[in-house]
Amino acid sequence: MTNQTTISGQSAASVSVRDCPCESVSSPKTMYTVEQITNWRLQAAYARLEDRKILYKYTDEQLAEIFNGIGSDGFPEWLRDLLSGLHPSLMPVALIHDVQWYERGLITEPVPEPLDKENFHKSNAMFDMNATKMAKFNYGWYDPRRYSVEFDGWKFKKCCDMPLGFYWWKSPNPA
């Protein structure tokens, strides 16, 4: 990698998913460590993911509480753990997506449905676009994993776009 810019003293090469083993989660509440959150935040910055700046509104500790991995809060924990373990290069993408959904849940005043649906679809489309960026960041054009990550991002976007996804989008965050 030619870009050797550093953030917090870490180079881009040190945060690539290629160099990181798939991290398993053994806690009962799917809580990620501050180190994992920091690593994913750095990956988002180096890959220049869309809306990455949303992550800087929160501390790593707050993000660890917000982030549930890949999948909805409505999914069983074992399924979210499985999806997250199978798709480690999408964790920075899912982190941004979860913060977007978290912030939508903080809105207490009514939002006109057309605007709300537009923001919902924009968030899901950004997941797909960011998945493509992470695929290109982590894998060369010759690596089949690149195309697998891109396809997985598209599949997750399609799943989020389902009608039940919009219901969850409108749901307030539990206090």
Q: pTM of the predicted model, to two decimals? A: 0.76
Q: Considering only CA atoms, which of 77, 113, 93 is closest in space to residue 153? A: 93
Q: Which of 93, 32, 37 is nearest to 60 (CA)?
A: 37
Name the strand (E) or helix (H) holding 10.
strand 10-11
User: In terms of Cα–Cα distance, which of 48, 47, 44 is closest to 67?
Assistant: 44
Q: What is the pLDDT of residues 80-133, one digit of tens each?
A: 889 888 899 999 999 999 998 888 866 656 666 666 778 888 888 999 999 999
Residue 118 lies in a domain: yes
Tell me if 31 is assigned to some domain. yes
Q: In terms of DSSP H, where are the helices of the chain? A: 34-46, 60-66, 77-86, 91-105, 113-138, 144-160, 163-170
Would 20 be classed as within a structural domain? no
Query: How many folded domains does the chain comprise?
Result: 1
pLDDT in tens, 121-134: 888 899 999 999 99
Domain of residue 125: give its range. 25-170
Residue pointed to by tokens 């501050």: 34
Cα–Cα distance measured from residue 167 to residue 171, given in angstroms and rounded to the nearest whole number? 6
Residue 1 lies in a domain: no
Instruction: Say if 48 falls within a structural domain.
Output: yes
pLDDT, the chain, mean: 79
Q: Considering the domain boundaries, does residue 154 fall inside one? A: yes
Looking at residue 170, what is its pLDDT? 61
Is 165 domain-assigned? yes
Q: Which whole number is the average pLDDT over 4-16?
A: 44
In a domain, 4, yes or no: no
